[in-house]
Amino acid sequence: LVNDDRHDPAEVIEISVGLENSPYSVWIGDGILDSIGERLGAWRRGKKVALVTDANVAPLYADRVLSSLTAAGFSPCLIVVPAGESSKCLAGVEMICDAMISAGLDRSSSLVALGGGVIGDLAGFAAAVYYRGIPYVQVPTTVVAQVDSAVGGKTGVNATGGKNLIGAFHQPAMVFCDPFTLSTLPTREFNEGIAEVIKHAAIRMPSLLDELDPNQRTGLAPMIAKNVSIKAEIVAADEFETIGLRAMLNFGHTLGHAIENVAGYGTLLHGEAISIGLHAALKLSAQFEGMPDADANRVLDALRAFHLPLQIPAGLQSARIFDAMMKDKKFASGSMRFVLLRALGKPVISSDVTPDAVRDVIASLQTA
């Protein structure tokens, strides 16, 4: 971690994502939003930059980023998409690309993604395919995005048949996390992001569970930095998820994505579906890996403290969730592979989980 004192008195933390071919830095600091243009100055290519954001974030933060880019000599064009998961689709990519074509952006241009995980994934994918790939910068404004999705280069959109099924690896050139932006997040959106923090704690840093305070909404930079470090270390070691390490980040996501898909994107927030998926993964961890109850209870207590759901909402049929899970790309090879825990901080990839065990765990989480 490196302190950077070029700007305001608030500490800025730099975390390196040590990829062999495309290393980059994640900068974390309260108020860093206002110095993005200046910080991009040395990196810039063409002057034209697309600032892509959503309709909730635009009125809150777009002007500050536009001013910062303009002051640094860029010519930004603002592209605003509707807020919410339903924008994360191919039509959303087309809309962004069309707007960039109309604004005259070419292969020397770049893109800034300002918003939550939806904007990061969607705009990142647009950057991956526009002129066969232009550089982009992530400016995450939700907990999910700051602790997880903005780092690692997974970009993409949902297909009717499943979540994130259309996408590309495209690493950002830089990431700027401004924890101050989290102060405007509605409580429900703040809490859903903590599901990814709890996931990181469960697979990599159990001590994080003791540091989480449901009432804390300021001074979050150190917590964000710990999560970014976890993600950065895993991504640097296994960028393309080929050696099994990055797959550990899918803890709780196998069932979580299926629940999100069957509920209809946007019904449950992403982190809420992941919270239910984490509950399922903890049960399977106890059954197949002997995870101690005390460990599972620490995770469940943390999820409850942030009012995250642990049961599948009424009306979602078990059979549909099971089918959606089987279609998930993680099962494309036909084998059922689950990330489970032997204990907190000790993840394994298991092929032992049977379809019946999955059906049973789904049934056990159904709301009566």
Q: Which does 83 bind (CB under 5 to 8 A by kind): ligand GLY, ligand NAD, none?
A: ligand NAD
Burial of 343 (0-12, 13-18, 19+ CB in 10 A): middle
Integer Cα distance of 85 and 233 in angstroms: 28
Q: How far is the CB of 141 from ligand NAD (least distance, A)?
A: 4
Would you count residue 119 as binding ligand NAD (CB under 6 A)?
yes
Is residue 346 annotated as part of the catalytic site, yes or no? no
Coil/strand/helix, residue 163: strand
Closest to 46 measured CA to CA, from 79, 8, 85, 73: 73
Would you count residue 88 as binding ligand NAD (CB under 6 A)?
yes
Among 17, 77, 112, 185, interactor with ligand NAD by CB under 6 A: 185
Would you count residue 148 as binding ligand NAD (CB under 6 A)?
yes
Integer Cα distance of 252 and 244 in angstroms: 15
Would you count residue 37 as binding ligand NAD (CB under 6 A)?
no
Is residue 241 annotated as part of the catalytic site, yes or no? yes
- CA distances, 64 to each of 270, 272, 330 (Å): 28, 30, 40
Residue 364 CB contacts under 8 Å (≥ 6 apart), including other chains: 283
Would you count residue 178 as binding ligand NAD (CB under 6 A)?
no
Is residue 7 annotated as part of the catalytic site, yes or no? no
Q: Which does 246 bind (CB under 5 to 8 A by kind): ligand GLY, ligand NAD, none?
A: ligand GLY
183, 135 in Cβ contact below 8 A? no
Among 92, 152, 156, 256, interactor with ligand GLY by CB under 6 A: 152
Task: Find the residue with minimal CB distance to ligand GLY.
Answer: 249
Is residue 283 annotated as part of the catalytic site, yes or no? no
Q: What residues numbered 231-260 form the site for ligand GLY, per CB under 6 A?
A: 246, 249
Would you count residue 221 as binding ligand GLY (CB under 6 A)?
no
Coil/strand/helix, residue 49: strand
And the tokens for 9? 């008195």
Among 7, 47, 60, 348, interactor with ligand NAD by CB under 6 A: 60
Cα-Cα end-to-end distance for the chain: 48
Question: Which of 239, 250, 260, 261 does the annotation list as catalytic?
Answer: 250
Coil/strand/helix, residue 366: strand
Would you count residue 29 as binding ligand NAD (CB under 6 A)?
no
Number of residues engaging ligand NAD in binding (CB under 6 A) = 30
Question: Which of 48, 231, 279, 283 does the annotation list as catalytic?
Answer: 231
Is residue 163 annotated as part of the catalytic site, yes or no? no
| Residue 212 DSSP code | -
Would you count residue 85 as binding ligand NAD (CB under 6 A)?
yes
Is residue 257 annotated as part of the catalytic site, yes or no? yes
Closest to 346 measured CA to CA, from 204, 220, 149: 204
Q: Hey, which residues are catalytic here?
A: 132, 154, 196, 231, 241, 246, 250, 253, 257, 270
Binding residues for ligand GLY (CB under 6 A): 148, 152, 154, 246, 249
